[in-house]
Amino acid sequence: MKSDSETPKRHHRPRFANFPFDPTRLPFYYGSVVLVCGTLGVLASAPGQTVGVSVFTDFLIQAHHLSRSWVSFAYFAGTIASALLITRAGRWYDRFGGRWVSAGSAAMLAVVLMGMSFSVAISEFIASVLPVHYRHHVSFAVLTLGFFAMRFFGQGMLTLSSRNMVLEWFEQRRGMAMAFIGIAVAFGFSVTPPIFEWLIQRGGWPWAWQCIAGMIAVFSLVAFSLGRAKPEDHGLLPDGPFARKNRKAHVETLSGRQFTLSEARRTYSFWVFTFSVLLSALVLTAFSFHVVSIFSDAGMRRGQAVAIFVPAACVSVIVEFVGSWFSDFIKLKYLAMVQLFGIIVLSLSLSFLDAGPSVYLVVLGMGCMQGMFGIVSGVTWPRFFGRTHLGAISGFSTSIVVAGTAVGPYLFSVAHDQFGSYRPATLLCASVGFLLFAASFRADRPQ
């Protein structure tokens, strides 16, 4: 006879939960399928991530006859606008579940990419009914709207719903699940730019976006067919047969009470972890956006600047794998400290960058920071605040982080324009990192 802890609680099953098939009829735990599906969802968000958009930037500048600063500002404005709505997307996740939101956001991202492939024609059509001097304004508005939709459905909704769907199916094994996603995404995103570039060279940038839209549309069908919201919808438990007999292996491995968003926002740990992830996203995006200029100021070539991402990715994969395994057994604040250590090392090494040992410190700092990013930003919310309002809580945090990805490059630009150096911005980031590191000692799971 099963104990109370092993028996699934009565749970309202949503309509069409078992369409087109019932996961309980399969001879294996369905969480493994959800893990693969969620990982593909995060990878499918690449066209809406900076790593995917950046490949098309120069072509958009040329095609729309806009300056780099105007296209960059359109990207900034679209990202900020998407950040304001991601909290609402999190509430949609809580209401409809990861399966529907993931499939729907992928379908919408495909539509947006198709629209962006015709952005020049759309701009010219709108401009044809307006005075001539409004042509550049129309192009700017079209790109801003397009960037907003790409960031909202790609970086925002698709990433959030795919990752959270996996977190629903794993509790004691969340760390290992996040390690699988993190390693796959690290390698997947690293090959995204050359793949997109190959498509562009083969048929032009509009054709490349159309091909990518077709692939995202196929994933939308995969997400609808294979994705499932929660194991309780099918009478199953998180972790399935992989659940440990002793479900009290660590004080933080299981959720306590189920926090609402407003309750989570009143806790000390919520803000420490949110600002840690925010600072990491801000520094990484700013560094990636200005990497060639930063290395040029230090007397190094463009090739040396671009090459820094390869060894950093290798360090990141190792750190994420080890950190994910440890996250199932230790308090998350210690992993946040590793992330903040990486931010501090990266920021200080960029402040005093030269062709010597500081380059190795850049690799170490970025590797630690990136490696811990997925763990701290993903595992924290269900473990600290439960799964009932996971979408709203993670969505609110994600909206803040997305805003940081827009502010980071602008902050570094202002520092360089005003002081002729990125050092004021990097030292500011290092100082904030030190403050958060000190604050993280008290960032335990709320009771």
pLDDT reported for residue 180: 84
pLDDT reported for residue 144: 94
Instruction: Give yes or no: residues 429 and 293 share one domain.
Output: yes
Q: Which positions ≥6 away from 267 have C-beta within 8 Å?
A: 259, 384, 446
Instruction: Give yes or no: residues 413 and 350 share one domain.
Output: yes
Of 211, 199, 201, the closest CA to residue 113 belongs to 211
Q: Cα separation of 79 and 111, whole Å?
A: 18
Q: Quote the DSSP letter at residue 20.
A: S
Q: Which positions ≥6 away from 24 have C-beta within 8 Å?
A: 30, 234, 235, 236
Give me the average pLDDT of each 10-residue run along the chain (447 residues).
Answer: 40 64 82 92 90 81 83 85 83 85 94 95 88 82 94 89 88 79 81 85 93 96 89 79 53 63 93 95 84 84 75 86 82 94 96 86 92 85 86 87 82 84 94 97 90
Domain count, the chain: 2
The predicted model scores a pTM of: 0.76
Amino acid at 181: I
Q: Cα separation of 269 and 265, whole Å?
A: 9
CATH number at residue 183: 1.20.1250.20
The per-residue pLDDT for range 240-256, each reduced to its tens digit, is 776 655 444 444 545 45
pLDDT reported for residue 14: 61
Instruction: Give yes or no: residues 307 and 435 share one domain.
Output: yes
Q: Cα separation of 100 and 420, whole Å?
A: 49
* Residue 7 located in a structural domain: no
Surface-to-core class of residue 128, CB atoms within 10 Å of its CB (0-12 exposed, 13-18 middle, 19+ buried): exposed
Instruction: Give yes or no: residues 211 and 342 share one domain.
Output: no
Amino acid at 79: T
For the chain, percent helix, then strand, then coil, each to nearest 5? 80, 0, 20
* Residue 2 located in a structural domain: no
Q: Are 330 and 336 in contact (CB under 8 A)?
A: no
Of 152, 375, 412, the closest CA to residue 276 belongs to 375
Q: Are 59 and 200 in contact (CB under 8 A)?
A: yes
Instruction: Give yes or no: residues 276 and 230 share one domain.
Output: no
Instruction: Give yes or no: residues 173 and 78 share one domain.
Output: yes
> Which domain does 410 fall in, by range?
261-441
Q: How many CB atoms lie within 10 A of CB 80?
A: 16
pLDDT reported for residue 402: 83
* Residue 360 located in a structural domain: yes
